[in-house]
Amino acid sequence: MEGRRNGALAENGGRYPSQRRPNGTLGSEDAVSYHHVGQRMQDITGDGGVLKEIIRAGYGEVVPQDASVLVKFSGYLEHMDRPFDTNCFRKNPKLMKLGKDITLRGMEAGLLTMKKGELARYLFKPSYAFGALGCPPLIPPNATVMFEIELLDFLDSEECDQFFNMSTEQQGTFPLQKVLKVAATEREFGNYLFRQNHFKEAKKRYKRASSVLNHLNAKEDEQVKVDAAKLLIFLNLSFTYLKLECPARALAYGEKALEIDEKNAKALFRCGQACLSLAEYERARDFLVKAQKAQPFNHDINNELKKLASCYGDYMMKEKEMCCRMFSSLRCPSAEEDLKKGREKNPALNSQH
């Protein structure tokens, strides 16, 4: 029970934020009792334990069991205008898995009724919140709490969990469409981690997605779908390795992408970036010129070509200076210099013609 009572406070360390209501949705209702607010809300659990009011409708599918969700939330006590817990002021909210990272019963029950983009208000009775004991000193005993929750995104990881719990033989019997979905979900997890600048963790997810597809024995008419999925993952891995400052690996995955689609502008661009980092200027130029031919008005490609010209100019200048220093140290003194030294040693030579 202790972990369940403290679950909603874990995200913010149990501290009162100094800011006022993040969503600004309660307005004049601040002084209204939760009893009156609850009268217009929908009972989603059937026992009055969790009441819901939709503030902004979402779209698409409802959050499935075992999904990982990206949410913003704020929790309030009755007659208080500051949240006792919120993550709304975090730049990058954490992706949380239902049943594992979200341990407040009411929040999980509420999320399972939400759609992407939805903003909703909930009342959680004590049995769905912090129980009879509360969570001192922030939450008093038997407290009904209000939560405002915005569902930013979610990833359905149920089939991923099922797939990776199988043996290799069992994975081989998984239908192609489901395997492609597993790979796509792993890639989406990687994309989320990449956006958070967790490049090493993103790389692991992308490689996991790649390994799923590498073990597929697709039929000829199915290979197009598999290649399309591989292409996206190879491009992600190429970009991630550039971020990790591993240009050789970035080039390798860029070239794998080009094996699937030799005219892919993004793959050509990544290969060009990698070659530029490796100071392979001729190869970088070849890749970037081809990328520019595919997308002549692409701002990033054109800027990379300018960067290449600058780097190549600096490189040639340094090469020239180095060559000059090398040859100047090897060159024999001129006859003029010999004569000058001789005159300094023997002044009588100055009068000879």
Q: What is the pLDDT of residues 131-179, one digit of tens each?
A: 999 988 889 999 999 999 999 999 988 888 888 888 888 888 888 888 9
- Report the predicted TM-score, pTM, of the whole model to 2 decimal places: 0.70
What's phi and psi for 185, nearest 5 deg?
-65, -45
Least confident of 16-30, 95-109, 184-198, 304-318: 16-30
Q: What is the pLDDT of residue 175?
A: 87
- Say if strands 68-77 and 50-56 run parallel, antiparallel, or are unpaired: unpaired
159/117 Cα distance (integer angstroms):
23
DSSP lists the bridge partners of residue 50 as 124
Query: What domains can you pick out in the chain, each with its CATH number?
Result: 2-156 (3.10.50.40), 159-316 (1.25.40.10)
106: pLDDT strictly greater than 90: yes
Question: Which DSSP letter does residue 71 get?
Answer: E
48: pLDDT strictly greater than 70: yes
Q: What is the pLDDT of residue 17?
A: 38
155/65 Cα distance (integer angstroms):
10
Q: What is the rounded average pLDDT for all residues in the chain?
A: 84
Least confident of 18-27, 51-60, 72-81, 89-98: 18-27
Read off the pLDDT band of 32 (50, 70, 90): low
35/94 Cα distance (integer angstroms):
32
29: pLDDT strictly greater than 70: no
Higher pLDDT, 339 or 208: 208
Most confident of 272-276, 315-319, 333-337: 272-276
3 state DSSP class of 146 = strand
Q: What is the pLDDT of residue 9?
A: 45
191/152 Cα distance (integer angstroms):
15
Q: What is the pLDDT of residue 217?
A: 78
Q: What is the pLDDT of residue 2?
A: 40
Q: What is the pLDDT of residue 123?
A: 96
74/22 Cα distance (integer angstroms):
7
Question: Across the chain, where does the E strand assignment appear?
Answer: 42-43, 50-56, 59-62, 68-77, 85-86, 95-97, 115-116, 119-124, 145-155
Q: What is the pLDDT of residues 252-307, one digit of tens each?
A: 999 999 999 999 999 999 999 999 999 999 999 999 999 999 999 999 999 999 99
Angle subtended at Cα 260 by Cα 255 and Cα 263, rounded to the nearest 5 degrees: 75
Q: Which tokens in the block code for residue 235?
A: 């491009």
35: pLDDT strictly greater than 90: no
137/135 Cα distance (integer angstroms):
6
Question: Which DSSP letter does residue 166 get?
Answer: S
Least confident of 13-22, 74-83, 95-104, 216-225: 13-22
Q: Which tokens in the block code for residue 190?
A: 């990687």
Higher pLDDT, 20 or 191: 191
Read off the pLDDT band of 325 (50, 70, 90): low
Read off the pLDDT band of 76 (50, 70, 90): very high
